[in-house]
Amino acid sequence: MSATTAAISDDMRHADGYSAASMSPNEEPFREPLILGNPTMHDISRKIIGIIESEVTFKYLATLAITATLAVWGIFCIGYTIATGIGVWGLNNPVAWGWDITNFVFWIGIGHAGTLISAILFLFRQKWRTAINRSAEAMTIFAVICALTMVVIHTGRPWFAYWLFPYPNQMLMWINFRSPLVWDVFAVNTYFTVSLLFWFTGLVPDFATARNMVKSVVAKKIYHFFSLGWTGSTRHWHVYEVAYMIFAAISTPLVLSVHSVVSFDFATSVIPGWHTTIFPPYFVAGAIFSGFAMVMTLLVIAREILGLKDFITLKHLDNMNKIILATGMMVGYAYSMELFVAWYSKNPYEWATFYNRLTGDYAWAYWTMVSCNVISPQIYWFKKLRRNIPVMFIISIFVNIGMWFERFTIISTSLHHDYLPASWGYYSPTWVEISIFIGTFGIFLTLFLLFAKFMPMIAIAEVKGVMPNAQPHHHEENH
């Protein structure tokens, strides 16, 4: 029986479990603990399930009302766009892609941290992932939903979206499999499906815990349905851990492949500023960078409001900030290599595009991108700042702003100056585009608030598995 199995089996029998090992006053831990407060296993279940059972507060309802209002307004503007046409957007000739594709790439990038935390860190047996993986996985699902919304409506005829799928039809109008836009359809849908199954698989044992502990009859029946008859038996745990490992192995290549395929939308073209081989690794690093920043933003708020400081500790946030620093330097390296390749290639069109980014009409967007993505994370070289809550919250906001401007800069500055000066144009979004973008944030935050209230936000079974008293030789060492 695995450590996780042993850790959760007590909860199925309604036992309190073993207490964590006490340390002498002069003894320092070899590693910083991942769980504070020395709770028992039953304390962990009661604390996390207590969030579900607690009464809905006025602050929660007020916040939910604001995010839901933004979501409804965004959905209304989406309906207005579909009914009227994308002429209500600010797109023009030559800027045929604007905020629509910018937001699509932005939201797909946000979803990458969830898969990386859940799958890759799980395969590398990084125990610090256990308190943050559930939130990151949920964030992935909600971000991909927002991304799919943008990619469907930007076609102008969303009612023909099914044409993108290779289904047999009487008109014999098969899709162009050589188009990277079609590759996107398969990559993003595969990513969404696998991430959803991976997220739900991890939730099954915790749904069973909620089923056993909630008092409401209706809630008990709902959690019973989604727990799939879980009893906590050895066989159930064996099947669960095998399935979880398989999903982790399947999800790992998706971290690299999905955003690489998204980058092919640009890299396989011949437009100066897009036609570059550095895009796939550059986009992947940027996606992880922005994804971790969004996870940081949400967790800093959640640990304060929901009282999860004992589970989401400064060590978790510190490790995430180290990844933000590392991926931020990768992104900075990609920026410099783009400029170097454009100069060294002696291609006048390529260099003109990048020089225009630096000094042209959209120079303000480029330097905002560099300031937020390259300069601001450098303060994380200092441990005190990596563990300062206000600092990490502000930096996470800066990174999200900078990564949005990165996608905007790549798209707009490469399109608004065509080969002929007579074809040059300046793109500005309309109120409809701005409203849809704000609406996607409303959808994202509304779904996350509902998730935090009605589902275990912390992976109960996995957190118990990293406790000292879940280790096989723990009791022998303390007797």
pLDDT tens for each residue of 90-124: 888 888 888 989 999 999 988 887 888 888 888 88
> At 14, is the pLDDT very low, low, confident or very high (cuts 50, 70, 90)?
very low
Q: Is 377 exposed, middle or buried (0-12, 13-18, 19+ CB in 10 A)?
A: buried
For residue 171, the model assigns a pLDDT of 62
For residue 10, the model assigns a pLDDT of 42
**pLDDT of 414-424, one tens digit each?**
888 877 777 78
Find, among 282, 253, 299, 280, the residue nearest to 120 by Cα. Answer: 253
Amino acid at 335: Y
Mean pLDDT score of the chain: 85
42 pLDDT above the threshold of 90: no
**pLDDT of 337-350, one tens digit each?**
999 999 998 889 89
CB-based contact 149:108 (threshold 8 Å):
no
Q: How far apart are CA 456 and CA 440, in angstroms?
A: 24
19 pLDDT above the threshold of 70: no
Sign for the CA dihedral angle at 349, 350, 354, 357 comes to positive
Q: How far apart are CA 73 and CA 269, in angstroms?
A: 35
**pLDDT of 380-416, one tens digit each?**
999 999 999 999 999 999 999 999 999 999 998 888 8
Mean pLDDT of the region 345-364: 90
**pLDDT of 257-296, one tens digit each?**
888 999 998 998 888 889 888 999 999 999 989 999 999 9
For residue 318, the model assigns a pLDDT of 92
For residue 450, the model assigns a pLDDT of 93
For residue 472, the model assigns a pLDDT of 62
Q: How far apart are CA 63 and CA 306, in angstroms?
A: 14
For residue 65, the model assigns a pLDDT of 94
365 pLDDT above the threshold of 60: yes
> At 129, is the pLDDT very low, low, confident or very high (cuts 50, 70, 90)?
confident
Mean pLDDT of the region 51-78: 91
For residue 251, the model assigns a pLDDT of 87
Find, among 407, 281, 275, the residue nearest to 347 by Cα. Answer: 275
The proportion of the chain whose per-residue pLDDT surpasses 70, expressed as a percent, equals: 90
Which tokens belong to 222?
């709902």
Q: How far apart are CA 164 and CA 260, in angstroms?
A: 20
Q: How far apart are CA 259 and CA 286, in angstroms?
A: 9
The proportion of the chain whose per-residue pLDDT surpasses 90, expressed as a percent, equals: 43
Mean pLDDT of the region 287-313: 89
For residue 116, the model assigns a pLDDT of 80
For residue 3, the model assigns a pLDDT of 45
> At 204, is the pLDDT very low, low, confident or very high (cuts 50, 70, 90)?
very high
> At 28, is the pLDDT very low, low, confident or very high (cuts 50, 70, 90)?
very low
Please tell me the least confidently modeled range out of 48-57, 225-234, 366-375: 48-57
Which tokens belong to 256?
């690299």
Q: How far apart are CA 144 and CA 141, in angstroms?
A: 5
325 pLDDT above the threshold of 70: yes
**pLDDT of 157-170, one tens digit each?**
888 888 777 676 66
For residue 141, the model assigns a pLDDT of 93
